[in-house]
Chains A and B, each alone.
Chain A
């Protein structure tokens, strides 16, 4: 089976540390796939490899028929992959709408000259982009916040702003790095339903790293478990939940032996 994103034998190490070890991963189009694993399992490294921030050591990453190996981050974005960050990384001194406009960068074409001279094409493009940005903010539930500086927004709103910014690049695949980290239950459920809508309304494929098992179990069709850079289990949430190796990775060998139904935190 061939998915939207196909990763084969991906390997990345830092000095002596093997961060990702011969990983195979297939993300079918319009699916929601979760990557879970203990801290240091190589999940964020995987994201950095896909988005071109790390040079990989070996293996192949193919997205919609294009090879991602060796592409720079900006080229990866242009192919249609967007991401959010584990620690919030909105642009703090830009307003919400400007954050989203930066996300549109690769789909706008105004160059320095036409912008400086205020040519009609540049003006039209700018006002269209602004309209789109405002409606994206509305889509993630930030209507009326367009002028607020990102650093003045509460935590949950900044997370949603990051998602809006990622959507602005018109991605086919969006990588979400712990989108509900640090959220209260209400915010978590709002964000969960937002992630579902991304797929259901917009047809975007979602790959997410998540620690909150309720979120993982609630929305993902498939789950991949990493430990020390190695894929130790893969399948539907239910299958993974009952996999002895997963329990061992999370709780240690001894603990796993004494537990019947783990991982449902």
Chain B
């Protein structure tokens, strides 16, 4: 009994210690403390302790947690668990701190090895006291935090307002979406909804300043690419880690054909736009032919390889006469509308909104059609999909081509908006960003992709201080989503029949189907 309590306490304690030491080493606690300090107008040291205290509360509640098949432990046992958790984590954290502070005291510049341990950040941790005192404080803080956390967790477990969080969430969601869904079921309701949405989107860019138009425009480009990759990964189940290739094709097509260097072709934006999209789609199909027969995980690596090849090729001095090498392409043309320049961030915002709406319209139609069903069938069980008469190779090529076209469109808008493109715009992280948008939002779900783009590309713009930790948290998010919620923020719901039946009733009745089996063969 006691042994199992100690074990559970140790487990929570070690988890807390690892989290705190890790945050210490990557400098995140200080950053978070800064944010708290700015938001709450508090001293940074106090903010840091508040953050650490909250973490300890959480660990304490973890230590007191009871599994389903276990009897609720008595108070002393709960406190034992929390005590063990607090003390063990406190010791680890305290010792780590003691060691680093002592080294710091001896005049060793820790930053040469551990980049985030600047003197300022160490002062924040040491509270301006001696290493021993600071270490002692950081032993006590988790101990107290864990004990309080356990008491709170135990005391509030049966409180009436503690329903399962997900149930409350879905109740909220229901309250919002139900009336909308009801409205969407009637024809006039739909028209009204679309009109409202359209007006909103039309007016929005006018109300925003350039910064927000630019930022939301970037989010929009990621929505665009996310929707494209969603066709490939979410619907057809093909993990493409080289999606950046098609983004690059779009950008470089507009760059090479409209910029003064290196070829001085100076074509018009509107002529190049369809060419670039088409070219991206064609290259998608061409790259797809040799690799789409491969099983999923091979495909991931090969596409990753493609992504690296394109960056190396664009960067190569050997090809600089064609692509301008590492210098990139400046002065890319921007569009004009009836002779007037149409290239401000606001103008691009309109173009992006329009493109996103077009792409949503197209993918929504596609995924509920024969073509989309074929993709999903391939994702679910490729062998059976073939046995159903689906030509899996052409279906996959189609998915690849469509996904590539959307990325190409994104690339054109991106390059033309900033009037520059270069090889460094096209590293692996672009592919990973888009993948994260799709996964976090919910594979195969259009609203999910939009939400994912806002969360992953929009939030970091708001929380500038956390920028350094953006990609780190993408990685953690990918793992966490797979382990905890593989279906994403807004999972795709399989189409319900109700709406279909309503539509079928409007159109002429379906042909009688009694002798289904034979079709015309009889």
Contact = CB atoms under 8 A, between A and B. Distances in A.
Touch A–B, Cβ below 8 Å? yes
Interface of A: 51, 53, 72-74, 77-78, 80, 82-83, 85, 89, 91-95, 97-98, 101-103, 105-108, 110-112, 115-118, 122-124, 126-132, 135-136, 139, 146-147, 149, 165, 167-172, 198, 201-204
Contacts of B516: 132, 135-136, 139, 167-168, 170, 202
A112 B402 contact: yes
Q: Chain B CB within 10 Å — which of A51, A147, A167 has the most?
A: A147
A77 B504 contact: no
B373 interface: yes
Given A73-B386, A93-B376, A106-B389, A111 B371 contact: yes
A94 B504 contact: no
Q: Which 4 A-B pairs give the minimum distances between C-beta atoms?
A: A131-B510, A106-B389, A202-B517, A115-B369
B521 A172 contact: yes
A115 B371 contact: yes
5 contacts: A73-B387, A94-B373, A106-B390, A136-B513, A168-B516
A68 B105 CA distance: 83
Nearest to A75: B389
A88 to B, nearest CB: 10
B390 A102 contact: yes
Interface string B350-388: 000000000000100110011111101100110111111
Nearest to B363: A116
Q: Chain A CB within 10 Å — which of B384, B390, B495, B518 has the most?
A: B384
B374 A130 contact: no
B111 interface: no
A116 B511 CA distance: 24
Given A110-B370, A130-B510, A91 B384 contact: yes
Contacts of B513: 131-132, 135-136
Contact of A95 (B370, B381, B383, B494): B494
Nearest to B487: A93
B519 A74 contact: no
B87 interface: no
B497 A146 contact: yes
Main secondary structure of the interface of B (DSSP, over half): helix
Contacts of B517: 167, 170-171, 198, 201-204
Main secondary structure of the interface of A (DSSP, over half): helix
A93 B380 contact: yes
B388 A169 contact: yes
Contact of A130 (B384, B398, B504): B504
A13 B106 CA distance: 76
Given A98-B373, A170-B518, A202-B515, A165 B388 contact: yes
Given A91-B381, A169-B388, 11 more contacts: A51-B387, A73-B387, A74-B386, A77-B388, A77-B389, A91-B384, A106-B389, A111-B371, A112-B371, A117-B365, A132-B513
Q: Chain A CB within 10 Å — which of B388, B503, B516, B521 has the most?
A: B388
Nearest to A132: B513
B387 A53 contact: yes
A128 to B, nearest CB: 5
B388 A203 contact: no
A124 B507 contact: yes
B230 to A, nearest CB: 15
